[in-house]
Chains A and B, each alone.
Chain A
Amino acid sequence: MTKTINLTLKVWRQQGPKDKGRFETYHAKNISTDMSFLEMLDVVNDQLTIDDKEPIAFDHDCREGICGMCGCVVNGRAHGAEKGTTLCQLHMRHFDNGDTIAIEPFRAMAFKAIKDLAVDRSALDKIIQAGGYVSVNTGGAQDANAILVPQEVADLAMDAAQCIGCGACVAACPNASAMLFTSAKVSQLALLPQGMPEAAKRALNMVRTMDELGFGNCTNERECEAECPKEISITNIARLNREYLNAGFFSRSI
């Protein structure tokens, strides 16, 4: 038989970017512990709709932990307290009957508030547009294995490429810095031969854009690494520092 729990939710409600916002209290009753956190919010929203009240706006898409669309700060932790888990993969079995849960949006100057728990994370897209790509010529595809990549290096690149761009690193960082995100996106390309021709320009442009967008500065607090649902390591931040300083001082790129 399914276990059910009752919860008290303190949810951040904000009409729009101009609204100041406040917490409102809701009661989530008979929540199955097999539900995900987002399904629990769906149940609350159903009730709000029936009561003719405005449902809580929150971001979500795949609900499989791979798209990077969902994310809130639950009881002071981005994506909740479970390690290596997105909010959609956080299940209600991790909560106890009678718990009070505070739900806030990801907060950063670079993430503009949209409504309630939904924030605009397109600043991360702008960092990608500044250099998070490789330029590939059209034409016939070359032979597989024409460029040799050691398995270990490919693994490191894949570890970095796991970043889903959810913004939890920014939300968890005491300084609202986007260094873990940017470092993962720089690393996945800098590690591979295909990324090398544009490596210097990429590091310079992505860091510059990141600074311009109003993200904070990394002070090696390591909260991002601890909170990242894909467990991206801060060794990527060290790699970004190397790439950036190399590009700044020793490459011909300005």
Chain B
Amino acid sequence: MNWITGTLGSSIGKKLLMAITGFSFCGFLAAHLAGNLTIYGGKDAFNGYAAHLHALGPLVTVAELGLLTFFLVHVIIGLILFLSNLKARPVRYAVNKSAGGRTLGSATMPYTGAILLAFIIFHLMNFHFVDKTDTTIFNIVSNAFSNTGYVAIYIVAMVAAAIHVSHGFWSAFQTIGANHPKYMPLIRTVSIAFAVVVGIGFGFLPIYIFLLA
């Protein structure tokens, strides 16, 4: 087992774990968004989607446990990397200028990550760990988003998610070593496009429901 912890515990190994878990979250976001879009089909379409999803039974539980594990790995290693990177430069520069490499996404990764962590807890408390016996998921959702405060929180969180993904998506490819002159420009474009899709796709849903209510 020594070689496994040795390889994964190194700086590149930690980055690999961040890349794999992060890339899985991109897949999760895509599936989550696809499901959420059924809300445009109306109340029945959305409730039907939720019912179909929950009909998978134990599969959903397995997926949830998998996501939770990946989530913990991503958050804990992200925190370890953040702290060790702070430690790597104990005396900061008085004058600090970018040479043009950093992007809004790359420069804010730990902070957008922290926003997302807080948001995910908030989101699960609102829509997941609630009593659903006498109501439908559509009712819970439309109830929540009739409140402008909720709408604002969700929009801010989705902007943070888009910024986080804009760096995370292409960065995952670079970390696993998939940097190729033929494909890298495409990967970087897809990274931005996916960030926009996540931001607008998720971000517009609360507005739509608010307007509907």
Verify if A198 is at the interface (C-beta below 8 Å from B): no
Task: Give 1 or 0 for each of A74-92: 1 = CB within 8 Å of chain B CB.
Answer: 0111100100000000000
Pick the most buried of B87, B101, B178: most chain A CB atoms within 10 A of its CB: B101
Q: Is the CB of B89 within 8 A of A248?
A: no
Q: How far is the CB of A21 from chain B (nearest CB, A)?
A: 8
Verify if A157 is at the interface (C-beta below 8 Å from B): no
Question: How many angstroms from the CA of A73 to the CA of B99 in the assembled complex?
Answer: 12
Verify if B175 is at the interface (C-beta below 8 Å from A): yes
Verify if A210 is at the interface (C-beta below 8 Å from B): yes
Question: How many angstroms from the CA of A90 to the CA of B205 in the assembled complex?
Answer: 53
Q: Is the CB of A245 within 8 A of B177?
A: yes
- Identify A248's interface contact among B7, B107, B175, CB under 8 A: B7
Verify if B129 is at the interface (C-beta below 8 Å from A): no
Number of interface residues, chain B, beta carbon within 8 A = 44
Question: How many angstroms from the CA of A218 to the CA of B88 in the assembled complex?
Answer: 11
Q: Is the CB of B85 within 8 A of A172?
A: no
A172 to chain B: closest residue by CB: B99
Q: Is the CB of A76 within 8 A of B85?
A: no
Question: How many angstroms from the CA of A176 to the CA of B23 in the assembled complex?
Answer: 25
B98 to chain A: closest residue by CB: A223
Q: Is the CB of A107 within 8 A of B92?
A: yes
Q: List the 9 shortest-distance A-B pairs measured between CB atoms, nearest first.
A: A248-B7, A242-B177, A216-B88, A222-B101, A238-B179, A76-B97, A226-B99, A175-B85, A76-B95
The interface of chain B, by Cβ under 8 A from chain A, is 2-3, 6-7, 10-16, 81, 84-85, 87-102, 106-107, 109, 167, 170-171, 174-179, 181, 184
> What are 24 A-B contacts defined by CB distance under 8 Å?
A78-B99, A104-B95, A107-B93, A172-B99, A174-B102, A210-B11, A211-B11, A216-B85, A218-B11, A218-B12, A221-B107, A223-B102, A224-B101, A235-B184, A238-B174, A239-B177, A240-B12, A241-B177, A244-B10, A245-B7, A245-B176, A248-B6, A249-B7, A254-B6
The interface of chain A, by Cβ under 8 A from chain B, is 12, 21, 23, 73, 75-78, 81, 102, 104, 107-110, 172, 174-177, 179, 207-208, 210-211, 214-227, 234-235, 237-242, 244-245, 248-249, 254
